[in-house]
Copies of this chain bind each other. A is one copy, B any other.
């Protein structure tokens, strides 16, 4: 592959720097804790995304490369059985060592070696792995925000990660969100998914391919996301208490383990809801999209409206006509914002739950080798979410991008778009 070394390393540096920038406001203590099994400490994230470059690139492509620390090979392996054993996931927050300082040294060491490697001719496979590693790092940048919010947002002191940008949200509050309307989409055979990229720089994950035909009925999608005000109506209509609105597994979960009464991060103060955002606890912005709902809650809300969630194919067909613009991490708000006039909110703000189980596309092939574990093995029991969120890097998202979570998960920035059949 023609060497594009400088720009490749620049691209590398730019993404890598962003990870550290996200962590700047943190106290050392914030880097350590793991408030639930699904989250990871920021310290672990920083080490793991470095490990990814070390294991999948340096170890393969840098002649004579020796592992920085053999113990890290286990400690910072997330789930790659092909690579070897892993430190148990629920115990990531029990490791006070290596310290943050030691992990930053590890990062610097890998960065130096990567610069050496990228200063030479790069094979197509190396470039592919590099771009994958950078997309991987972007995913973890979003996870750092997501996991950090879970940590701080469950702390009784409600500490803020950053200051509220008041003038911004004030303005948004003033302006009413567009009325809820439904856009009609025509059925028939549509193409969805991503055709094989011509260059590793034109990146897509394996789970987005191959492009293939699907047959859809005519359908309608809401012109914007469901708002907090609208979700409040569901709560006040006893939505959380009515079994007929809930999937059986959801109802059972709510009876036995989770006693949900409202979205995550809402808390009642004197009968009114406040919401924790990364700017601290503030009164609920009624115009903003509801966020941090599980797939089960999204499904129950839609059922309560007599509607349903979109399938991922319906969403993709509708969204693919739109520019990838919206409230991404670059806006700095780190919180979903009310729908702006003219926007359909397909991209940014919140990941939109679909009713589609995360499954292989027809003809799906995983990445080759150890990287085959990246996506494919998670294709059971999870649901697809689409569109990116207010903590996703804009450059990271596509109309074909498939995110996935268990339907009971709600610590990620996830929200609801309504769908309905035609004639309903």
Interface residues of A (CB under 8 A from B): 27-35, 43, 71, 74-75, 79, 81-82, 87, 93-100, 151-152, 154-157, 159, 189, 212-217, 219, 243-244, 246-251, 296, 299, 308, 355-357, 359-360, 362-363, 372-373, 377-381, 407, 421
Bound-state Cα–Cα, A362 to B213, Å: 17
A96 CA to B43 CA, complexed, in Å: 13
Q: Which B residues are CB-close (under 8 A) to A377?
A: 246-248, 251
On whether the beta carbons of A355 and B360 are closer than 8 Å, the reply is yes
Once the chains are docked, how many angstroms separate the CA of A215 from the CA of B244? 33
Per assembly, the copies of the chain total 4
Contacting A29 at CB < 8 Å: which of B99, B215, B362? B99
Contacts of A155 in B (CB 8 A): 95-97
- Cβ of A152 and Cβ of B97 under 8 Å apart? yes
Q: How far is the CA of A244 from the CA of B79 in the complex (A)?
A: 11
Give the top 7 A-B pairs by smallest Cβ distance, nearest first.
Answer: A357-B357, A81-B243, A215-B215, A29-B96, A248-B377, A28-B28, A30-B96
**Beta-carbon contact of A151 and B362 below 8 Å:** no
Query: Mind listing 18 A-B residue pairs with CB under 8 Å?
Result: A27-B99, A28-B29, A29-B29, A29-B31, A29-B43, A29-B97, A32-B96, A33-B93, A33-B95, A34-B94, A71-B156, A82-B244, A97-B155, A189-B189, A246-B377, A251-B377, A308-B360, A357-B357
Pick from B82, B154, B360, B381: contact of A249, CB below 8 A: B381
Contacts of A250 in B (CB 8 A): 380
Partner of A363, one of B100, B189, B217: B217
In the assembled complex, which residues on chain B have CB atoms less than 8 Å from the CB atom of A31?
Answer: 29
Interface of A is mostly: mixed
How far is it, in angstroms, between the C-alpha of A251 and the C-alpha of B152 when the chains are bound?
30
Interface pair B217/A215, CB less than 8 Å apart:
no
The interface residues of chain B lying within 8 Å CB-to-CB of A363 are 217, 421
Q: Which of B82, B94, B362, B407 contacts A421 (CB 8 A)?
A: B362
Contacts of A71 in B (CB 8 A): 156-157
CA distance A421 to B365 in the complex (A): 11
Residues of B within 8 A of A100 (CB): 29
* Chain B residue at minimal CB-CB distance from A89: B252
Identify A79's interface contact among B97, B213, B248, B378, CB under 8 A: B248
Find the B residue at minimum CB distance from A210.
B217
Which single residue of chain B is at the shortest CB-CB distance from A81? B243
Q: How many whole Å from A219's CB to the nearest CB in chain B? A: 8
Taken together as a complex, chains A and B put the C-alpha atoms of A378 and B214 apart, in Å, by 25
> B32 to A29, Cβ gap below 8 A?
yes
Cβ-neighbour of A81 out of B213, B244, B299 (below 8 A): B244
| C-alpha spacing A318/B356, complex, angstroms | 24
Bound form: Cα–Cα A31–B82 in Å: 35
Pick from B81, B97, B215, B216: contact of A157, CB below 8 A: B97
Known interface pairs A29-B28, A96-B152, A246-B377. Does A355 touch B359 (Cβ–Cβ under 8 Å)? yes
Given known pairs A247-B377, A250-B380, the reply for A156 and B87 (CB within 8 Å) is yes
* CA A152 to CA B96, docked complex, whole Å: 8
Q: A71-B157, A155-B95, A217-B212 are in contact. Are A373 and B244 (CB under 8 A)?
A: yes
**Contact residues in B for A407 (Cβ distance below 8 Å):** 380-381
Q: Which residue of B lies closest to A407 (CB)?
A: B380
Report B-chain residues with C-beta under 8 Å of the C-beta of A251.
81, 377
Using Cβ atoms and an 8 Å threshold, which residues of chain B touch A246?
377
Nearest residue (CB) in B for A95 is B155
